[in-house]
Amino acid sequence: MRSSLLRRGVAAAVVLAAVLASAAPAHAATGWVTVGSDRARALDESQGLTVIRRGTGVEYRYTGVGTIPPDVAARGFDHVGDPDSVAGWYVEPYQRGDQNGKMFRAQSPGGAWTEYRHALAAGEQYNNSWDAITPGGAWMLAGEWGTMDRLLGFATPGLNPAAVPGANLPLAFTVRLDRPVRDVQGCDFLSATALLCSSDDPDGTLFGITKPLLRIDLARTPDGTDVTGGVTALRQAPLASACSGAFEVEGVDYQESDGTLRVIVMSPGICVVFDSKTWRLKQG
């Protein structure tokens, strides 16, 4: 009898452990620690950032409503998202208030600008919050606002001959995620098969935390065909301000040269003007 009770007790413990494991928040213990911050101006540093390397020059470039050229805004592209840069090329994503397509505005290493229009594919959301260029340069990922189980893939303007100025830049492939993400505001490649992303998710039901920083591991290096991606929440984005209320997590940038992850967080209320920050994180 005692042996039978012991076996039943062990079995119950195993079942309980399995239940607790399945109920645990879907985020990993993280080595990403906050190491500092810089002020982020609300007008022109509130949407995204990247580092452009051209020759020996290094430029930290931000985007915000104040960085949209007047002629671009006059043509209906009234929102710019989180940009990216590889091999001296710089690409920033735009959306329109009338939801009539998207645009990627590319600058060559020599400084010339070219626009690449994108007509929405069937079922595609109109928003265009970010782009992330693969380290090899040929392909570029982007995302959609809301709760999504995919990322969008395109030929990279300027770096892939399949992207033709003046012609439609079509959706080339998708990244099928193993779990949904919500309100992704920016991504950058950590390696050829891994992305670091910021989410402005205010709900917290997907990963057990609000405003998570995410890691997406791809099954292979993007090659223009559909690929799967595994999503893990690393930690909550840094949220600190003199004001209380709702923060807005924006774009991200990762620099392999010094291992620094930067994420823009706009502060609540009036503090958005003087207390918003670009936070710096490193793996401890």
- HSE-CB for 207 with a 13 A CA cutoff: 26
Show the domain range for 167: 36-283
For residues 162-170, average pLDDT: 97
The answer to whether residue 96 sits within a structural domain is yes
Number of domains in the chain: 1
For residues 152-164, average pLDDT: 98
- Give yes or no for residue 18 having a pLDDT over 90: no
Question: What DSSP character marks residue 245?
Answer: S
* Measured CA angle at 48 (ends 44, 52), to 5 deg: 95
First to last CA, the chain: 52
The answer to whether residue 276 sits within a structural domain is yes
The answer to whether residue 31 sits within a structural domain is no
- Average pLDDT, rounded, for the chain: 91
Q: pTM of the prediction?
A: 0.89
The answer to whether residue 25 sits within a structural domain is no
The domain that holds 276 is classified in CATH as 2.120.10
The answer to whether residue 60 sits within a structural domain is yes
User: Strand order of the sheet with strand 212-218?
Assistant: 131-133, 139-142, 147-155, 173-182, 227-236, 212-218, 194-199, 184-191
pLDDT digits (tens, 9 = 90+) for 56-98: 999 999 999 999 999 999 999 999 999 999 999 999 999 999 9
30 band by pLDDT with thresholds 50, 70 and 90: low
The answer to whether residue 247 sits within a structural domain is yes
CB neighbours of residue 55 within 10 Å: 7
The answer to whether residue 153 sits within a structural domain is yes
pLDDT digits (tens, 9 = 90+) for 186-243: 999 999 999 999 999 999 999 999 999 999 999 999 999 999 999 999 999 999 999 9
* Residue that wins the pLDDT comparison between 31 and 217: 217
Q: What are the distances in angstroms from CA 179 to CA 129, 206, 217, 226, 229? A: 20, 8, 12, 16, 9
* Measured CA angle at 63 (ends 62, 64), to 5 deg: 130
The answer to whether residue 99 sits within a structural domain is yes
- Give yes or no for residue 163 having a pLDDT over 70: yes
